[in-house]
Amino acid sequence: MSNPSVPIQSDPSAHSGVKALKCRECGRRYELLAIHVCEFCFGPLEVEYDYEVIGRKISRKSIEAGPVSLWRYKDLLPVLGEPTAGLHAGMTPLVRADRLGRALGLKNLYVKNDTVNHPTLSFKDRVVAVATTRARELGFTTIACASTGNLANSVSAHAASCGMECFVFIPHDLEAGKVLGNLIYKPTVVSVKGTYDDVNRLCSEIGAEYPWAFVNINIRPYYAEGSKSLAFETAEQLGWRVPDQVVVPIASGSLLTKIWKGFHEFTRLGLVDENPLLKVNGAQASGCSPVYQAYVSGKNHIVPVRPNTIAKSLAIGNPADGFYALDVVGKSGGQVEQATDSEIIDGMKLLAETEGIFAETAGGVTVACLKKLAEKGAIRPDELTVAYITGNGLKTMEALAGSLSQPVSIDPNLSSFRQIVNPKS
C-alpha cells in the first residue's frame, strides 16, 4: 500500500499540458501529488496548465473526434495517462427548454441535464471519473470521500468498477435512495452522527492517518477540475458558444468556479469567441445559504451556518470554495439567489411538468432561483441562458411526500374507469 505522503507517480508525458499544483493565494508551486493545501499559507492548491502546449494539441475537430464522454476534453483535465475510471461520464444532454422558458418569460433557455449522468445520475460522476483516474495514477488502492450523498454514490460505483477498496462517509440523516445507492456497490458506508461539515472535518483527520485517496480532500485539486467539463460540453453543444447567463447551485462553491474556469479556458484557447456578457449566478437553499448571505450583505467572507433544508446535497454550512464562488459571481456581474423549501418543491414540479425532467431537490433550488432572477429582470428574456440540473429526483423522493396528487384507483373494468373520467373530445 502506498503512503499518501510519497505517492507513486506515473511518468508524466513530456507533452502533457498539466504543469503543477499552485497555491491560489501565494502562488507557490507543488508537484502533482495527493496534496490540497499550501504548506506555507494554507491556501487551496489548484492545477496549473500550460495552455501553449494544450493549444497545440486541441481543436474543435480533435474534440469532436473524441469519445462521447467528458474524456473528449482530456487535454484540459489533470490526468497524465489514459482514463481508467468513469469512461462514460459526461456528455449529458443540453435540453432546449422552451416550455420552462415560456413559464418564466425566457426565450432562449437550456437545461444541462446531469440527472442521467453515467453511472450514478449526478454531476459527481464527472469529478469522480477524474479523481479516480488520478488517484490510480498516484498509486492509491483505496478511495474515500466525505459526502452529502451523490458523491458517495459515485465514489462507491467507481470503486466497484475498478476493484478498489472504498470508504464513504455520510451524515446520518441522508435520504434512503442515496444510502441504498451506496450500499448496493458494497463499500464501507460510515454514517456519522453530525452534519456534513462534521463529516468533512472528521475525514480530514482520517485522511492524515490512513493512506487513502479522499477524492474531495487530498485529491481535491484534480477532482474539482472535472466540473469544468460541464462548461466545455455546454459550449460545444451550443455550437461552440458561451452563454450569456448560467445558473449554478452552490454547495461547496467549487462547481460554480469551475464552470466559469471552463468557459474561460475554451475562450483562451480560441475554441469559442469570448462572451463578455457571461454572468454566473449562484443558487442556494434558504436553509443553508451562507454564500447568499454574504452576497446580499456585501461582504466578501462567508459566515458558516448550520444547515436545515430539504436540499441535502447543498447542505454545506461552511463551504470550502464559498469565497471563490462569491468572487466569480461578483466579477461576472451575476447574482446569488436563494429558495425556500416550498419554492424548491415548486421548482422540481415546474421542471418536471414543463420539460419532463425529474430533478432532485438541488435542481428545484436551481429552477426556483432561475425563476427569481428572471422575474426581477436580472436575466432578460432574450439572453442565452443555461440552468445546471445536477442530480436525479429518484434520490430525494422523501422531499416530495405530501406534495403530489395521488393515483386514482379503479377496478379493472370499463365502467369503473368511466366513473372517473369523461372523454375530452
Within residues 286-345, the interface with a copy of itself by CB under 8 A covers none
Residue partners of 417: CB distance under 8 A and separation at least 6: 410
Site residues for a copy of itself, 70-89, by CB under 8 A, read 87-88
The interface with a copy of itself within residues 400-419 (CB under 8 A) comprises: 400, 404-414, 417
Stretch near a copy of itself under the rule CB under 8 A, chosen from 51-59, 206-214, 246-254, 301-309: 206-214
Helices 176-183 and 150-162, interaxial angle, to 10°? 10
184 belongs to the binding site for a copy of itself (CB under 8 A): yes
Q: Which residue number, 212 or 292, has a Cβ lying nearer to a copy of itself?
A: 212
Neighbours of 310 (CB within 10 A): 24
| Beta carbons of 317 and 195 less than 8 angstroms apart | yes
Is 355 among the residues that bind a copy of itself (CB under 8 A)? yes
Q: Does 26 bind a copy of itself (CB under 8 A)?
A: no
Q: Which of 193, 239, 297, 402 binds a copy of itself (CB under 8 A)?
A: 193
3-state SS, residue 355: helix
Q: Does 66 participate in binding a copy of itself (rule CB under 8 A)? A: no
Number of residues counted as binding a copy of itself (CB under 8 A) = 90
Cell 438541488 belongs to: 362
Contacts with a copy of itself in 364-383 (CB under 8 A)? Answer: none
DSSP state of 68: S
Q: Give least dist CB 189 to a copy of itself, A.
A: 4
- Pick one of 183, 303, 308, 328: the residue that binds a copy of itself (CB under 8 A): 183
395 binds a copy of itself (CB under 8 A): yes
Q: φ and ψ at 230, to 5 degrees?
A: -65, -40
How many whole angstroms separate alpha carbon 130 and alpha carbon 226?
6
Q: How far is the CB of 373 from a copy of itself (least distance, A)?
A: 23
Binding flag, residue 277, a copy of itself (CB under 8 A): no
Q: Which of 177, 243, 262, 317 binds a copy of itself (CB under 8 A)?
A: 177
What's the CA gap between 24 and 371, in Å, rounded? 34
Region near a copy of itself per CB under 8 A, out of 24-32, 50-58, 219-227, 388-396: 388-396
Residues 6+ apart with CB under 8 A from 272: 235, 240, 241, 242, 263, 266
Cα 27 from Cα 382, distance rounded (Å): 40
The 123-142 contact track toward a copy of itself, x by CB under 8 A, reads -------------------x
- Backbone φ, ψ for residue 337 (5° rounding): -120, 170
Parallel, antiparallel or unpaired: strands 245-249 and 279-285: parallel
Segment (H or E) for 246? strand 245-249
Min separation Cβ 356 and a copy of itself, Å: 3
Q: Per CB under 8 A, which region of 53-61, 223-231, 313-321, 350-358 contacts a copy of itself? A: 350-358
- Cβ proximity to a copy of itself, 211 vs 330, nearer residue: 211
Question: Is 59 a residue that touches a copy of itself (CB under 8 A)?
Answer: no
Q: Which of residues 229-248 bind a copy of itself (CB under 8 A)?
A: none
Closest C-alpha to 363, from 398, 383, 332, 393: 393
Scanning 14-22, 70-78, 109-117, 321-329 for contacts with a copy of itself by CB under 8 A, the matching segment is 109-117
By the rule CB under 8 A, 191 interacts with a copy of itself: yes
- Choose, by CB under 8 A, the member of 55, 194, 333, 381 that binds a copy of itself: 194
Is residue 396 classed exposed, middle or buried when 0-12, 13-18 and 19+ CB atoms within 10 A define those classes?
buried
Cβ density class 343-358: b for 16+ within 10 Å, e for less: bbbbbbbbbbebbebb
Cβ atoms < 10 Å from Cβ of 27: 11
| Single-letter code of the amino acid located at 379 | I
Q: How far is the CB of 128 from a copy of itself (least distance, A)?
A: 10
Q: How far is the CB of 49 from a copy of itself (least distance, A)?
A: 27
Which residue of 274, 276, 397, 419 would you call a contact of a copy of itself, by CB under 8 A?
397
Least separation in angstroms between residue 325's CB and a copy of itself is 25
Q: Which of 285, 357, 365, 373 binds a copy of itself (CB under 8 A)?
A: 357
Contact, 282 vs 325, CB < 8 A?
yes
Distance from C-alpha of 415 to C-alpha of 298, rounded to nearest angstrom:
64
Rg (the chain; Cα; Å) = 21
Q: Which of 19, 24, 28, 201 binds a copy of itself (CB under 8 A)?
A: 201
Of the candidate spans 5-13, 40-48, 166-174, 374-382, the one that interacts with a copy of itself by CB under 8 A turns out to be 166-174
